[in-house]
């Protein structure tokens, strides 16, 4: 099985590129949302750590936002609880798809949480700052202060770009980006 990890800035179009490969995608953001919605044990652990902020199950995004913005260490506390659960979900995904030729890993903290192995092919999604701003402004849940906190726990983009095996430029139409992904797949296979 070939593992392709998608890297890039928040709002660069990583999820679109990931889906364009046409292979099973592990979407970490989606898995985190499910954990917040369904995992009572996770809720209890976060509530115990941050009782001043977390009161509602399923975990309320507004409560998380308040916790993260009130103290920059809170995001680290939350990730220490959530990321082992994401890692378990990733392992189940890999097991379920063990017979697939390729799987795509759409995990924003792929490098930070050491979720790649030496065989993982890294693809960096590059986008114009103006395009990123437009995409982020369309997101209902976008909060620039949260964005800054998330950037604090991420490795620099230049580092991620250097570590990547390939770069997909998400400057063009979706059709051109899909064509770039197909060309990249030919190189990989």
Query: Tens digits of per-residue pLDDT, 29-73?
Result: 999 999 999 999 999 999 999 999 999 999 998 899 999 999 989
| Percent of residues, the chain, with pLDDT higher than 90 | 69
- Spell out the domains of the chain, with CATH numbers in brackets: 2-188 (3.40.50.300)
Structure tokens at 126: 């590059």
Average of per-residue pLDDT values in the chain: 91
Q: pTM above 0.75?
A: yes
Q: 85: closest CA among 121, 122, 46, 55? A: 46
| Percent of residues, the chain, with pLDDT higher than 70 | 99
Instruction: With a cut of 90, say whether residue 139 has pLDDT above it.
Output: no
pLDDT interval class at 186 (50, 70, 90):
very high
Instruction: Tell me the angle at which helices 28-38 and 73-96 cross, rounded to the nearest 10 degrees.
Output: 110
């Amino acid at each position: 099985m070939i593992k392709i990890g998608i890297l890039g800035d928040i709002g660069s179009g990583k999820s679109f590129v990931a889906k364009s490969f046409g292979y099973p995608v592990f979407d970490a953001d989606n898995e985190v949302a499910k954990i917040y919605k369904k995992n009572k044990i996770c809720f209890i652990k976060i509530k115990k750590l941050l009782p001043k902020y977390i009161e509602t199950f399923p975990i309320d995004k507004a409560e998380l936002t308040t916790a993260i913005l009130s103290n920059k260490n809170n995001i680290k506390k939350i990730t220490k609880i959530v990321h082992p659960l994401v890692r378990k979900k990733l392992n189940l995904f890999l097991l379920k798809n063990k017979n697939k030729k390729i799987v795509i890993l759409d995990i924003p903290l792929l490098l930070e949480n050491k979720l790649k192995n030496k065989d993982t092919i890294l693809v960096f999604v590059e986008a114009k700052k103006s395009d990123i701003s437009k995409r982020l402004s369309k997101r209902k849940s976008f909060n620039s202060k949260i964005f800054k906190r998330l950037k604090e726990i991420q490795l620099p983009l230049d580092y991620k770009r250097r570590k990547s095996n390939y770069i997909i430029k998400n400057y063009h139409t979706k059709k051109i980006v899909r064509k770039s992904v197909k060309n990249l797949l030919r190189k990989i296979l």
